[in-house]
Structure formats: C-alpha cells, structure tokens
Structure 1
Amino acid sequence: MSGPLVVVGDALLDRDVSGAVTRVCPDAPVPVLDEQAATDRPGGAGLAALLAAAQGNDVALVTALADDPAAARIAELLTAAGVRLYPLRMPGATAEKIRLRAGGQTLLRLDRGGAPQAPGEPPEAALEVIASAGAILASDYGRGLLRQPTLRAALAEASAPVVWDPHPKGPAAVAGVRLVTPNLAELRQLTGDAGAGSALSTATRAGHELRRRWRVGAVAVTMGPDGSVLCHSGSTPLVIPAPSEVDGVEDTCGAGDRFAAAAATALAGGALVSEAVGEAVAAASAYVAAGGAAGLHRQPEDQRPSTPAGSAEELVARVRADGGTVVATGGCFDILHAGHVATLQAARRLGDALVVCLNSDRSVRGLKGPDRPLNTEGDRARLLAALDCVDAVVVFDEPTPHVVLSRLRPDVWVKGGDYAGDGAPELPEAELIRGWGGRVVTVPFLAGRSTTATITAARQRGARLIKGAA
C-alpha cells in the first residue's frame, strides 16, 4: 500500500457493561444487573479503523467529534492503537451505545448523543490525507458525516480505490466507487426490494439495482455465515462462501467493518475486486470465529492464517476423549499429486483422525532451495484440508516437525514407503515418537510420483514447446 488506509465516517463510543442477574427489581418486573466489568471500545467507523490497525496497516480516521468525554475516550483508544485522527468539529454530543449484558446475552442497549448534528468543515490536513490515501473506506453509520459537501468532493476526486460501507439512513455513495458492501437487510432498505424469492435471488437482483442506481463498480452483499454475493458488470453474480460455519459466537458486532476494511486493504495492494471480496469473507469469518468484538479484549495468541489456532489440538483432545487413535503425517506437499493422496488415504485408515504437519514456506525454502515452494503455505494447507481423509492441517516453521509433534503427541506417525525396505534410513522423528509410546509406520508409496519429477517434466515440456515455436 503506497499510502495509508483512510477511514472516513461516523465514530461512536461503544461500552459493554457485563454482570450477573440474580433478582428482579422490586418496583418493576425487570431484571437487576449487578455490574462486574465495563469495557470501552471505538464504535462505528472508529471500530473499522481499530480493526484495520490491528492487522498492521497504517490507518488514518477522518471523523466528527464533539467536545465531550465520549469523544476524548474515543481519541484515547484510537491513538493508543496507532490510528491517526483528523477530526471535524461537531456540535452537540458524541454518540454512545451502552449494552448491558449477562451470561453472554444483551439485555438492553442505551443510546446517548441524541439526533446527529451537521459537522463543520474538514481541516486541510484531513483533505490532504484523503488525497494521499492508498485506499479509502467510507464507513457510514447514518449520522451525517458522509453528507458533508467538502468531504464528498474529496472522496469523488480521490485516486485511491474507495470502498463504501453504507447505512440505510445515509447518503448514496459518490459515483465511481470501486465497491459497495451492504448486508442483505441494508440492501433491501436501500433499494426498496421486498425480498421475494431466496436470499441469493434477492441479493443478486437488488445488488445489481444498487450498482446501477449509484453508478459504482461492484456491490458485495454480505450474508453472514453464507459469505458474500458479488454483483459486478457481468450478469452472473459471484458467490463466495464463508470458510466454515461458526457456532456459539458471543458477538458479531464489527464483522461488516472487518469485511470492508479487508476489502479496501486488498484493493490497495492491487487485488481484483473478486479477490478482495474473497479476502474480506475470510477475514470477517476469522474475526467472528475469534469471538467478534468480544475477542478484541482477549489475550492475543500466536495464529497462522492457514490454520486456526488450537484447531489441531482441539481435534486431538476430542479424539482422545473418545478413546480414538490420532494419526499424523508430514511433508511439503508443494504440488499435490496421486502419490500424496495415496499416502494420506492409507494413513487415515490407521486411526480415527489424521493431522497433516505442513512445512511453512520458510521451512520449504530451507529444505528445497530458494525456488520452492511453488505454492504458498496457505494454498497448500487449503488443498490438503479439502481432502476427505485429512481432519486437520497445522503449519510449522522449523526444518523438522519435532516441535509440533511434541505438542500433538500423535499415536501413529506415518511416512510414505520410500522410507521402507532394507538399508532405508530411520525416520528422524522415530525416537521422538517412541518417547511417548507412539508408533512409527510406513505405508505404500506410488512409484514414479513426485513433486520434483512433476516440475522437471513441466519444464522440459515447456522448453520443447518454446523450441518448436522458434
């Protein structure tokens, strides 16, 4: 990204007050919440900026703030997260949303701030940061900032890609926006579509209507656990499913902000709109899986994008709790071929779950040289995880899988039959596996199938084609 991600929109202060309900109020039939904790976070466009900054992006926020304690708290929280603020002066009070929660459920939401007030003119510094942006996210929460004429003119003239996250009470996007990201309910309100037919047909019909009406490049309709529907210049929509369903989520607040910010960041990096929406679906799904807004205040964990933290460990724990056998195997799997599949299928038949320990890109380079891998660890992990015989994939950075094996402690460690036979070297992991009573086995290997042979054959064929064309 050549410039910052600039978020332009209405910032709010969100406060979650959590506690316990053990009695009913004596003077009214309502529960009494005994407060145990209160957590503040930026809301609205402020949350979008916070989420983008948490991904390591250079983020600036252009918003309207009143001269009050709520605005001071928003500024404090965002500045601490590394977000640069460019505030417009706003009369009245800064909006606050206070949610009273017990047992993971919201009992009541109290809103403060009253009716939105028209902000003043943006400072020159705000206009300059918009002009220098690598990408722009217009985050509309219906409080009027994106109606400000000078700001709208700056957004219309910006050379950076603009993603517009709309609100039913807000204005239309400026013409020429690269991507608009309503959810299905917002889309129906924005277009007046009654929603006849399936959700997919509604998203397609209303998405194309909004794209035509607002004269924007594309509309990505977010549909929660069903992913997103991208309506672009073609007549056929692109449906991008979520990676997996997420159950028991405490709080999905901010999923739309995470989606829009991820899409804007991807566009700034040169991604196609379809690629940006794919990345946004994955980012929003991961955000929700981590607990949504509630997860922002948990202790951060070491996570790899290709393998959700704890997934392999949780699988192993479940299998062991049921008295099952955990099988593991490992490798680079740079170009997945029939030999790999045969080994994986044979390994899976030896137990109740198969975990694949996958060399990271850095690990593969150390083993195979600077020209490998041909496919990234994310793509390799995704292909492996799509196989019915694979139950989990975990990526490791070291030259050998010793560290991850020590953590998982599988009952059986499997390698292909190229390690079998008289004179074959003992597997380097054998002593480690036997240390906790595990077994090391080999399974039949399909001769003549290898990644190196595949690459060599492809290069030789390419050389012959080039020679013949000459």
Structure 2
Amino acid sequence: MNRPLLIVGDALLDVDLRGQAERLAPDAPVPVVDGPLRDARPGGAALAACLAAADGRRVCLVTALGADEASAEVRRLLAGRVRLVELPLDGTLSTKTRVLASGAPVVRLDSGDGRAAGPTEEALTAVAGAGAVLVSDYGRGTADVLRDALAEAAARRPLVWDPHPRGGAPVAGARLVTPSQSEARTLAAALADGDGRPAREPGRDAARAGRHAGPEARSRAGHAAGSRQPAEDAARLVRAWGVGSVAVTLGERGALLSHGDRPLLVSTPWRASGDPCGAGDRFATAAAGLLADGVLPEAAVQGAVAAATRYVEEGGVRCVLRGGPPADAVDRPARHAEDARAPDAFALAAAVRARGGTVVAAGGCFDLLHAGHITLLEAARRAGDCLIVCVNSDASVRRRKGAGRPLVPAADRVRVLTALGCVDAVAVFAEDTPESLLRELRPDVWAKGADYGVADLPEAALLESWGGQVVLLPYLDGRSTSVLAERAARAETRP
C-alpha cells in the first residue's frame, strides 16, 4: 500500500572518514589512518526519512535546520528525496563523524549543540493533517516543541515514537515505541516506583545475588536475568507512558514486543553480518510504515525485524542512500515471496567464489519436505562450501504437478528450507526449469538425486558451459511427496 508518512524529529549530519590502517602511530598505540575519504549522509530523523522514501513512500520531514554548513549539507542531501518542513534551529546542527580504519570504526567525533527553537504554522499543519507519524527523537528538541500537536495526532492515527534517553517521554496514546535494549534499560531505570524509590534493576539484582552462589547457579541466574530484563523494562514503560505497546530492539536477536503483559519475541529471520549503523532507524521506519498501511503491531514488528536484518545484510545506509536494493519493510521478499529471487543467494555465491570456494546448488519443488529431501540436501552441502536451494514457484509446481499442487505454498516451503542447517540460501524461480536462475548463480556443482540420469537433465550442458558439473547423489528410496499425500488422503477418508 505504501501510504504517506510524516516524520518528526532531529536531523543530524553523519560523516564517515574511511581509510586504510597498516601501522600504529610512533607516539601512541593507535592506528594511523592513511588517505581517508569523506562520506557524508543524512543522519537521525533525516536518515529515517530517506529510508522511508526508499520504501517508495511519500515522506514529509519536519525538522530543525539552521544557517550553518552542516544544515546546508543536509538540505542538499535531502533534495529530491523528501518534502522538507523546517523549524528554526538555535545553534549549529549536530554532526557525528566516524573514523574507520580498514572498515572498522576506531573513534567517533561529535560536534554541534543546536536545538529546535520553536514550532511553525507549517509544521503544526503538517502534523495535524498527517495520516501516520513517526517521531524520531534524538534529544535535540524537535519533538518537544511540537509535543501538544503530536499528542493530538496520537489520539487519532498511528504514531510511532523512536525515543532517546535525553529526549522527553513519548506522548500518551502512541501506538508503538521502539527503544533499543540499552535505551529501554536506561529509561525504565529512570522511572520511580510509587514510593519514590528508583526502579529496580533486574540484571543488577541478579548479579549481586550471583556473587554468593556457585558457578552453575550464577550461570542460570545471569541467563534468566538477561531474558527477563527487556520484557520487564518494556512492560514498565508501557504502563508508565500510557502507550499502546513497546518494542525493544535486541540487535541480532530481533525484537521483543510488549503491550504491558506477556511479551512477544520476534527473532531475526536469518543472521546478518554488516554495518549496523542506522538499523534502529530502519526498524522504526519499517514499523511506522506498516502501521500506516493498517497492519497490527505484531505484524509491524515482524516486518520491521525482517527489514532491519536485510538492511544490515545488504550494506546498511550506504547501500540505501546510493540507490542500492531497497530494504523492503514487509517481509524478507525473496525468501518468503513467490516468484522472487533472494538477492542474498547471489551475494553468497559471489562471496564464496571470491575466496576460492565451491558453490553448490540443488533444486526442486520440496512440497512436503521429507527424509529423502533432507538426505539429498545434507549430501549436497558436503560437496562444497555453501548450498543454495532453487525452489519452484507455486505456479511452476502447478504446471508440473497438476492443479492440486503444491500442497504447501512457496512462502512456507522457503521458510522450512531456510531453517535447515545444511541450507545457506534459497532462491525461487518461476519458470518450469531453473536454467535462467542457474545462469545467474553460476554454481560450480548442480546436485540432483540419483533417480535422475545426467541425460535427463537439460541443466547439464548449461553447467558445463562455465566449467561446472552435475553431480548425482544417492536418494533415499521409498520417500516421496506423492506417496505421503496419497497416504494422508486415505487416512482422511477412513471412518
């Protein structure tokens, strides 16, 4: 649906200085960064606005900018991406500069102390007319000067608040609040119990108790405290703020959603590696966009976790702002959608080839996954350094197997396959044969069950054209999707 989104918050300027580090300075044990290149991009609420626009949404950003050079650079970077409604800025715009040595950050330099100086009629009108709002609060005052208007908006439409410990509390009635785990801990600890005492810190209490216990007891206590604390913090914040729900982001573990009672843990759909800078903004914008489209908070958080995971895997903010693949907010598109191809399958194949490894691919319908499939896939994985499974789309299965198939839709078949430890990536193809997909993947090995013959495989000549080969693997006799389906049908008809 991609409905429009209003983003209210504090813009920043993010700068990366990237260079190579091959030696330490003679006067201190610090790396010497040679020939750093400057890479500037919108930060804070300005980054959130660009990420939402990358989803194909019409975005209006309400933020404070001034007459300083950092503000002028953010204006240039936002031009053509979003509609900008400016508030006056008292001071200079905050700039965060990371110095990266051979890709690893070694230090961050912060400058600028500007704050929003007050509302404008244009900004108040934009908030009043918005269909959905994301507040990206970085503690620089934009949300504070528009607080009354935001409170009115929260009573009438979806409003997501991405908080900051140095900012104000979210307005009552916000649909969803999205702190990180450390932010939730800080915000919850700052609250006071009814008797005025500081909030209890579960992790600290467990640690104190653990000092007087044995090693096994200490391990159990630490694990329990680590799993409890985000849930307790989220529930406490829901009650204290009077908001609909709090989703605590847990980094590579996903997110925990609480309405003030039993929490919902949403795990990441796969393990991503990459630069996590901006992943929290990606999560908040995806969740806000999905709520704007009318989904429930539970579905919005699931989509936001998938979007943030893919964002990190595909290169983070630099990929999005430079026109790379958009970070889809709804689901992992290629792994969970019919007739789509997982971009990570191609990236994985390229990475394995680059380090001299062997790329193995296997294909099929995988309708009603059974022991024969598992035997084949495990053997295929042992034949190389990664296994990419090519799966027929639903339409392709129907053409091959008949109107009653598939029994399991493509999205579910892909989910089951990606859960297998022997499978590294999955790609779905819409054609009757995987030749077009294989031509793009260019695997070194194409693995098939021994119930086929090489002469029966039209892919064999294709693999040989780039030096690949078809490998037949032993197939577990007596296992068949058709047999399982017939057996299940007979069982249903018995009295």
1:352 to 373, 383, 389: 383
Query: Do the aligned residues in 2 keep the contact of 1:5 with 1:60 (CA within 8 Å)?
Result: yes
The 3-state SS of whatever aligns with 1:330 is strand
CA distance in 2 between counterparts of 1:67 and 1:395 reads: 51
Distance 1:430 1:305, change over 3 A: closer
TM-score, length-scaled by structure 2 = 0.77
> Is 1:241 the equivalent of 2:277?
no
Q: Specify the alignment match of 2:447 in structure 1.
A: 413
d(CA) in 1 for partners of 2:7, 2:244: 19
Q: Is the 8 A contact 1:355 1:392 kept in 2?
A: yes
Residues 191 and 457 (structure 1), Cα distance of their counterparts in 2 relative to 1, 3 Å cut:
same
Q: C-alpha distance in 2, partners of 1:62/1:52?
A: 14
Q: How many residues align?
A: 445
For 1:396, the equivalent position in structure 2 comes to 429
SS at match of 2:76: helix
Are 1:211 and 2:238 matched, yes or no?
A: yes
Question: 1:133-282 alignment to 2 at 5 Å?
Answer: 133-148=130-145, 149-159=147-157, 161-192=158-189, 193=199, 194=201, 195-196=203-204, 197=206, 198-234=225-261, 236-247=262-273, 249=274, 251-282=275-306
Q: Please tell me whether residue 439 in structure 1 is matched to residue 438 in structure 2.
A: no
Give, in whole Å, the separation in 2 of the partners of 1:360 and 1:287.
Answer: 25
For residues 404 and 367 of structure 1, what CA distance do their matches in structure 2 show? 18
8 A Cα contact 1:88 1:120, kept in partner = yes
Relative to structure 1, the CA distance from residue 450 to residue 8 in structure 2 (aligned partners, 3 Å threshold; closer, same or farther) is farther
Distance 1:332 1:396 in 2: 10
State the Cα distance separating 1:110 from its structure 2 match.
2.7
**Are the equivalent residues in 1 in contact too, given 2:64–2:115 (CA < 8 A)?**
no
The whole-number CA distance in structure 1 between the counterparts of 2:409 and 2:49 is 29
Q: 1:450: which partner in 2?
A: 482
In 2, the alpha carbon distance for the partners of 1:457 and 1:319 equals 49
- Give the 3-state SS of the residue equivalent to 1:137 in structure 2: strand
CA distance in 1 between partners of 2:484 and 2:294 (Å): 32
Corresponding residue for 1:130?
Answer: 127
SS at match of 1:172: coil
Tell me how far apart the structure 2 counterparts of residues 144 and 222 of structure 1 sit (CA, whole Å): 23
Partners of 2:315 and 2:178 in 1: how far apart? Answer: 22
Tell me the distance in 2 between the aligned counterparts of 1:366 and 1:73. Answer: 55
2:307 to 279, 283, 291: 283
Change over 3 Å in CA distance of 1:30–1:262 after alignment to 2: same
Superposition deviation, residue 447 in structure 1 = 6.9
In the alignment, is residue 7 of structure 1 matched against residue 11 of structure 2?
no
Aligned residue for 1:90, secondary structure, equals strand
Contact 2:447-2:470 within 8 A present in 1 as well: yes
- Seen in structure 2, the aligned counterparts of structure 1 residues 367 and 71 have a Cα distance that, compared at 3 Å, is farther
What secondary structure, in the 3-state scheme, does the structure 1 residue paired with 2:456 have? coil
Instruction: Say which SS state the counterpart of residue 115 (structure 2) adopts.
Output: coil
Task: Describe the superposition over 1:398-440 as per-residue Cα deviations: whole angstroms up to 9, x where unpaired.
Answer: 44211232333343431584x67xxx99343344345546236
2:62 matches 1:62: yes
CA distance in 1, matches of 2:404, 2:293: 24
Structure 2 segments unaligned to the other structure (5+ residues): 190-198, 207-224, 328-332, 336-341
Per the TM alignment, residue 370 of structure 1 is displaced from its structure 2 partner at its CA by: 9.9
- 2:349 aligns with one of 313, 318, 342: 313
Q: Tell me: CA distance 1:158–1:10, structure 2 relative to 1, closer, same or farther (3 Å).
A: farther
Q: What is the aligned-residue RMSD (CA, Å)? A: 3.8
Q: CA separation of 1:445/1:347 partners in 2, compared to 1, >3 Å: closer, same or farther?
A: farther
**Whole-angstrom distance in 2 between the partners of 1:218 and 1:455:** 46
Give the letter aligned to residue 210 of structure 1. Answer: L
Q: Secondary structure at the match of 1:310?
A: helix
Q: Quick check: 1:386 aligned with 2:386?
A: no
Shift in Å, 1:369: 9.0
Letter in 2 for 1:162: L
1:152–1:266 distance in 2 versus 1, CA, 3 Å: closer
- Equivalent pair of 1:343/1:445 in contact (CA under 8 Å): no
Residue type of the alignment partner of 1:438 = Q
Q: Which residue of 1 aligns with 2:217?
A: none
Indicate the percent of aligned positions where both proteins have the same amino acid.
Answer: 43
**Shift in Å at residue 387 of structure 1?**
2.7
Displacement of 1:134 in angstroms is 4.2
CA shift at 1:396, angstroms? 2.8
